[in-house]
Each structure stands twice: as C-alpha cells, then as structure tokens.
Amino acid sequence: MKNSRRQFMILSAAGACTLALNGKVQAQAMVAETDPQAAALGYKSDASKVDKAKFAKYAPPQACGNCALYQGAAGSAAGGCALFAGKQVSSKGWCSAYAKKA
C-alpha cells in the first residue's frame, strides 16, 4: 500500500513535469517562412521584407502584433496565431490573412 502511494506520487510529479515541458516546447516553436501554409500566405517574420509587388494590400504599420488573429500579449515579441496552431509568429511579422485588430 505504501509503495503504491509512493509510486503514484512519483508518477504524478513526472506527469506534471512532462506537461510543463511540453507547454514550453510548444511555446517556443516558431512558424518558419518555408512552412507550406506560411509560404502560401506570404508570411514573413519581418513585415518590412514582405513582397509588396505580390501582396499589394500590405502597408506599414501592419504586423502580427496588431492583427486580430494574433494571440500574444500586447508588447510581446512573439505569440500564437489562430492560423498556426501550436506555433508562434513574430509580432513584427505579417501574412496576407492580416486583419486589423479592432
């Protein structure tokens, strides 16, 4: 009985660590410009590098950080995007799905 309780405590602690690490790893994964979905949307991690001939709708100061789909905190360097589940985009990035935050 004592052993199974100890095992339960050890496994619970290990499980909590695994969950914490998974969250950290997911939080650090950045969307690559070469990702097929990112490339299709013309995503650039630096909005100033957007191909303006191809994406005429881009105009400064449009950036992920002021996009309605951006999920990062105000002022954060990177955050989630509704279009890229489990990954982060640069707050200075941009893609053709940009929609101005209200």
Q: Of 21 and 29, which CB lies nearer to ligand SF4 in the complex structure? A: 29
Nearest approach, Cβ of residue 34 and ligand SF4 (Å)? 14
Q: What share of the chain is helix, strand, coil (3-state, %, to 5)?
A: 35, 15, 45
- The CA distance from 43 to 4, in Å, is 52
Nearest approach, Cβ of residue 91 and ligand SF4 (Å)? 8
Task: Measure the CA dihedral 51/84/40/60, to 10°.
Answer: -20
Q: Of 4 and 36, which CB lies nearer to ligand SF4 in the complex structure? A: 36
Q: Footprint of ligand SF4 on residues 11-40 (CB under 6 A)?
A: none
Nearest approach, Cβ of residue 60 and ligand SF4 (Å)? 13
